[in-house]
Structure 1
Amino acid sequence: MVDHEEQNPFLAPSPEFLATVPVFPLIPALKKDVTRTIDSALTWDQLTAADISFTIVRPILFKYAKLKNMAVVYACLVNRAYFLEQSKDDLAYAGVMMSRAILCEILAMKLLNHFASNYITLVAVLTTSWSPLAGASPEVVEEVKQMLGNNAIVSDADSALEVAISTHAKRFISSTVTQKVVNDMYSGRVVFSSATSSNRSMLADNYKPRAITIYDCRDYPLLDHYRLRVPRYGAILEFLNFACLLITFVLCLSNENRTQITFWEGVFLVFAAAFMLEEYTAATEHGWIIYIANMWNVFDTSFVVVVLCYMGMRIRGLSCDDPKYSELAFDVLACGACILFPRLAFFAVSNNVVILSLRAMISEFIFFMSIAVICFSGLLFTLWTLGKDKWTIQGICWLMTQIWFGNSSLSFTQAESFHPFFGPILMTTFAALSNTLLLTILISILSNTVARIDSNATQEHLFQFTISTIEGVKADALFSYQPPFNLLAFAVLKPASYVVTPRTLHTLNVFLIKSTSFPILIVIGLYERYFAAGQSLRETSVDAAHTLFNSLPRQIKNMPFVEALVGSTSNNLYEAIFELEGSIGPPLFEESDEEEDNHPQLRSVASHESLPSAGVRRQPSRVSLAPPSPFRATSPARSASPRRRRPLSALDVGAASAELTQGSRSPLARLFAYNDPPPPAAGPSGQGQIEGSIRRVEAIVDDLRAMPVHKLKEEMREVQERQARIEQLLLTLTRGMRSTDTESRLK
């Protein structure tokens, strides 16, 4: 058992401690328990239902929660990846494997909640790069190496968040606990360094790994180069880089020269090369699966392909002195505007449902169009066979495309040019299918896709948000350089990494970052110290604004525009009232132990055997099980005010006792009826009244003893014995019938 709570709860787990956490034993153990538990196909709603969750999920959850192993969430997600892969290979049990994968995601979500009490530990559970072979025996490691045949793959490590992204565990990612960590990573409140594998990083600088801490600007220098890796600032800088790339793109096309490279074309080539290096670094660092899962990276990859085609044709045109290739290169580059302009605009509307569903719609559209092309390829060949004397393949394809997208008149005007009899029949059929049937189906498919994405828009948005956050906090050194300075850093630091020590490389890297990003670091440092939320200058400005607003006349403050701009003051009033709780004067009700006993509560009532003997006097319970007596209903102390009732006098006690002895109430009702304890009275008369009250209580206890409780218990015991005899008789008869049936079958 690994007890992470032995660590200081205010400090992050040390790298030495994390290296000792066993990971490998959890993976086969979870696989065995999940496989043994799930034998049928169940959906997410069925697995999260109360009955199945209580009988299936809770036993496994408590079993692994007792281990207090920080890698258990990672192990659950690794098993999810395994079952998802098995569902693709074993089609006969695909539903069962999907159910097991869903159960692994549910277990990961619930086990993650067990670490939420310690926030630093929670961050470590999600962000630590775990090795799946940690804790395995040397024999197991050697066997895995022999199976893979590649030692580099064995040393790879991923975090729980990265495995969740690669397995599309969107419910796990969109959970409240996970998003709390992701939001703090995005805003830079949580600071940590992720160790980068040397075989996946373009330029790794892990000389000074940092433990997980809560960021405080007062503990760090003004020029903190690590703040350039904060995803929040990275998104702003990325927008500015795209704006610069777009400006140079427009200027390059506006000043094109087919015979030589102009100044703006050279500037664009530098920015384009820096952009391609940044995208290649991201794809290499995070892996292609995680990289391409982000919808925006699809646009970036498409623009990279356009730029590469442009460069190839431009180089050929200049080297061969052929203006045609240069003209074609600029034409291809102009097509990149269809990608670059929307990419920049999507920064402002990235959370829109239409944007989130755009990728799924494009996928569905391409799939449907591919099926349509395959289906109508036979018609294309038929039309070419019938009219090959007048038509070419390209002409027929263009004609069919026009008809497909709504120009149905061509199907009637050009039908006879293929064949006087079969031409009109084929073209009319094609027009009817394309415009009436298939386009309607396509619109329905896209509408259903939008509706499906709309229902899961929150999960999809949080999934994309988590991907961009993970990409921003990775430790590749080139991410700290803004284009085009990343080209300079790559040209200087990459060759130096082979010859200098890690410390020298780190020093050179920090110097280049601070030199090339000096203005940006100054702006970030000043913002976090004076203008960020919680800083003194911002709080002072907010207080001054509130003071100015409060000094305005009531007519101005109640104007709809001002109220909509500043906000309603009702919430401030309510908050002030609750903050002053405890200092608003004397309490309305006096609180004491006696009054707490007066409140009706559920209490255990002693049985007949546990009642005190005659020599022991027991105070009656204060829970009234009978309706209030007329005496208490007309008591002036009870009807005058809601304050504490006055003590009853001896005369009142006597009247109440006399009333209790009358009527037809049962002994239980007389025992548990509410009565205030009489105050001690001075004199012989008071002593006699107290003794009379005690004798009445003793009489009630004697009545309780005379109740037929023992007789009732004996009758219940007899009923149970009779039921047991009947069950034994039925069991005997059933066995006899089974033996008779067996003998008859044997005969």
Structure 2
Amino acid sequence: MDREEQSAALLAPSPEFLATVPVFPLIPAIKKDIVKTIDSALSWDQLTASDINFSIVRPIVLKYAKLTNMAVVYACLVNRAYFLEESENDLAYAGVMLSRATLCEILAMKLLSHFASNHITLVAVLTTSWSPLAGASPEVVEQVKQLLGSNANVNDAQSALEVAISTQAKHFIASPVSQKVVTDIYTGRIVFSTATTRSMLADNYKPRAITIYDCRDAPFLDHYRLRVPKYGAMLEFLNFACLLFTFVLCLSNKNPQQLNFWETVFIVFAAAFALEEYTASNEHGWIIYIANMWNVFDSSFVVIFLCYIVMRIKGLSSGDLATSEMAFDVLSCGACILFPRLAFFAISNNVVVLSLRVMIAEFLFFMAIACCCFSGLLFTLWTLGQGTWSIRGIAWLMVEIWFGNSYLSFQQAESFHPVLGPILMTTFAALSNTLLLTILISILSNTVARIDANATQEHLFQFAISTIEGVQADALFSYQPPFNLVAFAILKPASYLVTPRTLHSMNVLLIKITTLPILVVIGAYERYFADGQSLRESSRDAAHTIFNSLPRQIKNMPLLEALVGSTSSNLYEAIFDVDLGPGADLFNESDDEDFPQLRSVASHDTMTSAAAGVRRRPSRTSLPARSPQRNERSPHESPRLRPLSALDLGVSSAEVSSGGRSPLARFFAHVDPPPPPPPSGHVEASVRRMETMLDDLRELPVHRLKDEMRELQERQARIEQLLLTLTRGMRSSDTSTNRRN
């Protein structure tokens, strides 16, 4: 840990300071500005365009950036959640509400960048659990309680990252600033703890401020490292592999009459797995928990296990072997979830895997609509074939026809009705096998294409979800299954009897006893084998020394170069680290003064540098002659706006390397303080420079200045007319598109 990081850690905001930050005043203020600004439906590309950015977004960002309130990002995301809810309730203005929600996300992204200079403050902005009523008056709090009811929890705090996940703010989460914080949390470089009120087993005795982790200052057996998401993902893979191993042994040695050893072991591991999943859903809420598509698989297996255990207990208690056999049959269906779940650990970043959840959701939605549509046909066939076919038989026949067994529709058609039966079954076979399956394939293909276009954003979104889930405040997450069952059985009753200090001591002791080998491995890795540690660096230096000592013929072997890497990058890096002498410059300083510079905006510094460049030039360039018809426009001329040049703005650019500026630009140019008196040898040059400046001042008549001001007013009017025309065109195109849709 260098001195810069140590100083940053000392400046970390304390929990007491974060508790005093006013949050509530920001929420209605941001809502008021958003509602006043956006009154039409705009897309993401339109809201991020340069004109909207400089005219709408930038003033709002600067307004709230001046407050230096660390909860402003959270307040923007809370407003996004409000507008998304309003878009679902008020369908007439759904487009406007979605545009306002999108603007809230853009404001959150831009306001977050104002805290990026201090990494500790940036982490606090995103990870602090803010209460939305912090800073509100007692009257407001009482009104909120009356609206929500007496049993509502008004102190339900959430962090900005959690609100971003729940509102699907994928652009915000995928931004580089947010991902920097998420990556540091995932690797354990940033250490923080949050107090929680929804934990199964809360241990809030020692809340820790946000710090940068240094293994040299931490104890060797640091039980807090078990909550690092990077290590938690590895331990989760091992626990899942153990669960799958016991699952296979349980079904391979099943005994419907009584419990055996492997079934007992599986029940213990599965119960520990179910407790871990329930704790995770209870920690962050069901919305954030289910946003991770892997949790859908995990919760599905928990449901299968619960069905199995209920049926198994019923079968053993009543001696019904058929119920016990059925319990094992239900449990065997869990293999459809466990085996793919373990494989997905290795290919979690694949595009198909990322789009799997959306594809399943759209498939189920489409199948539900199809079932509702064909329920009428099912009733018709049951009415026609009453006495011959049952509803179950007709439904199974339709399922077979739906999935491609079309010859049954022609074989069994006349059994319903000699005339209507073939017509109905042929129509159903044509619709199911030709039309609807083609539509389903098209929907799934478009889903994959859409996810593929935003694969990186979707991956970063899922990565943020898994990272936030990994930072668990619940004490049970420090225990590995099945020891979390033991900890829950011991510490949960003790939490009602002992003091928080005693509970914390018991918790730490039990964690170190049950996870001692894991803590030893983590401590040794972070001190000797992690990035930046002495053993790894010395091994790397030794390997480079051995490689550099090899003959050139061996070092240039393709296989060895592919394993070690090319030395060209090292050569290029060394070139830029060389300290150049004073005689290495190819050009004089006077040559750099006339070098064109690319400017993004005509700022005050730009005008200053341009004016200074004019003063430094010893000779004066005359202004080109202005045509008298320049301000006049032919009635047949195109109404397009004439582009502004660097001469019009008085700004040096890469397109105009030389030439004089307009009198108006020279008149309003910033004048720097006079330079120090030159030496005696340059007195004549100074006199000539003063004469040149006086000549420039003489070329500023009043009528030319009036022409310049009139021309600027006309340009402004044309710009306003062009923007009005473009806005009307976009509205008319959107209206026609909506009508066609």
Q: Name the TM tier (shorter chain).
A: 0.7 to 0.9
User: Which residue does the alignment assign to 2:123?
Assistant: 123
User: Which residue does the alignment assign to 2:715?
Assistant: none
Shift of 1:53: 1.0
1:273-317 deviations in whole A, cap 9, x for unaligned?
Answer: 000000010111110111011100000000000000100110111
**C-alpha separation in 1, matches of 2:288 and 2:571:** 48
How many residue pairs get aligned? The number is 642
Q: What are the within-5 Å matches in structure 2 for residues 42-121 of structure 1?
A: 42-121=42-121
User: Which residue does the alignment assign to 1:271?
Assistant: 269
**C-alpha separation in 1, matches of 2:436 and 2:692:** 89
The amino acid across from 2:367 in the alignment is M
**C-alpha separation in 2, matches of 1:721 and 1:254:** 91
Is 1:503 the equivalent of 2:501? yes
User: Which residue does the alignment assign to 1:588?
Assistant: 584
User: Which residue does the alignment assign to 1:482?
Assistant: 480
User: Which residue does the alignment assign to 2:399?
Assistant: 401
User: Which residue does the alignment assign to 2:228?
Assistant: 230
SS at match of 1:114: helix
1:400-447 deviations in whole A, cap 9, x for unaligned?
Answer: 111111111111122222222222111111111111111111100000
Q: 1:375 to 1:146 in 2, by over 3 A?
A: same
Shift of 1:10: 4.2
Q: Which consecutive residues of structure 1, in runs of 5 or more, have no partner in the other structure?
A: 1-6, 608-618, 627-678, 682-689, 725-747
**C-alpha separation in 1, matches of 2:701 and 2:438:** 76
User: Which residue does the alignment assign to 1:716?
Assistant: 704
Shift of 1:487: 0.1
Structure 1 contact 294–468 (Cα < 8 Å) conserved: yes
**C-alpha separation in 2, matches of 1:701 and 1:241:** 83
Structure 1 contact 296–343 (Cα < 8 Å) conserved: yes
User: Which residue does the alignment assign to 1:667?
Assistant: none
Structure 1 contact 282–471 (Cα < 8 Å) conserved: yes
Q: What are the within-5 Å matches in structure 2 for residues 391-430 of structure 1?
A: 391-430=389-428
Q: 1:128 to 1:151 in 2, by over 3 A?
A: farther
TM-score relative to the length of structure 1: 0.81
Structure 1 contact 195–475 (Cα < 8 Å) conserved: yes
**C-alpha separation in 2, matches of 1:8 and 1:69:** 19
SS at match of 1:207: coil
The amino acid across from 1:45 in the alignment is D
Is 1:515 the equivalent of 2:508? no
User: Which residue does the alignment assign to 2:33?
Assistant: 33
User: Which residue does the alignment assign to 2:187?
Assistant: 187
Q: CA RMSD in A?
A: 3.0
**C-alpha separation in 2, matches of 1:714 and 1:231:** 71
The amino acid across from 2:402 in the alignment is W
User: Which residue does the alignment assign to 1:670?
Assistant: none
Is 1:537 the equivalent of 2:525? no
Structure 2 contact 27–78 (Cα < 8 Å) conserved: yes
* Greater Cα offset, 175-184 or 594-603: 594-603
Q: Which consecutive residues of structure 2, in runs of 5 or more, have no partner in the other structure?
A: 1-6, 598-608, 623-678, 713-741
User: Which residue does the alignment assign to 1:736?
Assistant: none
1:456-491 deviations in whole A, cap 9, x for unaligned?
Answer: 111111111111111111210000000000000000
SS at match of 1:587: helix
Structure 2 contact 8–120 (Cα < 8 Å) conserved: no
**C-alpha separation in 1, matches of 2:301 and 2:159:** 30
1:176-222 deviations in whole A, cap 9, x for unaligned?
Answer: 0000000000000000001112xx11000010011100000000110
User: Which residue does the alignment assign to 2:202?
Assistant: 204
**C-alpha separation in 2, matches of 1:249 and 1:707:** 91
1:612-653 deviations in whole A, cap 9, x for unaligned?
Answer: xxxxxxx99436759xxxxxxxxxxxxxxxxxxxxxxxxxxx
Q: 1:138 to 1:701 in 2, by over 3 A?
A: closer
Shift of 1:599: 7.2
SS at match of 1:604: helix
- Displaced runs of 4 or more, over 3 A: 7-10, 589-607, 619-626, 700-710, 714-724
SS at match of 1:475: coil
**C-alpha separation in 2, matches of 1:501 and 1:722:** 80
**C-alpha separation in 1, matches of 2:562 and 2:441:** 41
Percentage identity across paired residues of the two chains: 74
The amino acid across from 2:163 in the alignment is V
**C-alpha separation in 1, matches of 2:157 and 2:127:** 11
* Greater Cα offset, 377-386 or 479-488: 377-386
Structure 2 contact 9–211 (Cα < 8 Å) conserved: no
TM-score relative to the length of structure 2: 0.82
User: Which residue does the alignment assign to 1:356?
Assistant: 354
**C-alpha separation in 1, matches of 2:393 and 2:692:** 110
Q: 1:560 to 1:721 in 2, by over 3 A?
A: closer
Is 1:22 the equivalent of 2:43? no
User: Which residue does the alignment assign to 2:665?
Assistant: none
Is 1:470 the equivalent of 2:477? no
Q: 1:719 to 1:89 in 2, by over 3 A?
A: closer
Shift of 1:579: 2.0
User: Which residue does the alignment assign to 1:136?
Assistant: 136
The amino acid across from 1:245 in the alignment is L
Q: 1:255 to 1:714 in 2, by over 3 A?
A: closer
**C-alpha separation in 2, matches of 1:722 and 1:523:** 77
1:90-148 deviations in whole A, cap 9, x for unaligned?
Answer: 11111111111111111100000000001100000000111111111111112212222
Shift of 1:550: 1.9
Shift of 1:715: 4.5
Structure 2 contact 87–98 (Cα < 8 Å) conserved: yes
Shift of 1:530: 0.1
Structure 1 contact 10–120 (Cα < 8 Å) conserved: no
Q: 1:234 to 1:715 in 2, by over 3 A?
A: closer
SS at match of 1:153: coil
Q: 1:382 to 1:709 in 2, by over 3 A?
A: same
SS at match of 2:83: helix
Q: Computing the radius of gyration over CA atoms, which structure comes out larger, 1 or 2?
A: 1
Structure 1 contact 11–213 (Cα < 8 Å) conserved: no
SS at match of 1:218: coil
User: Which residue does the alignment assign to 2:217?
Assistant: 219
The amino acid across from 1:59 in the alignment is P
SS at match of 2:115: coil
Structure 1 contact 597–622 (Cα < 8 Å) conserved: no
User: Which residue does the alignment assign to 1:282?
Assistant: 280
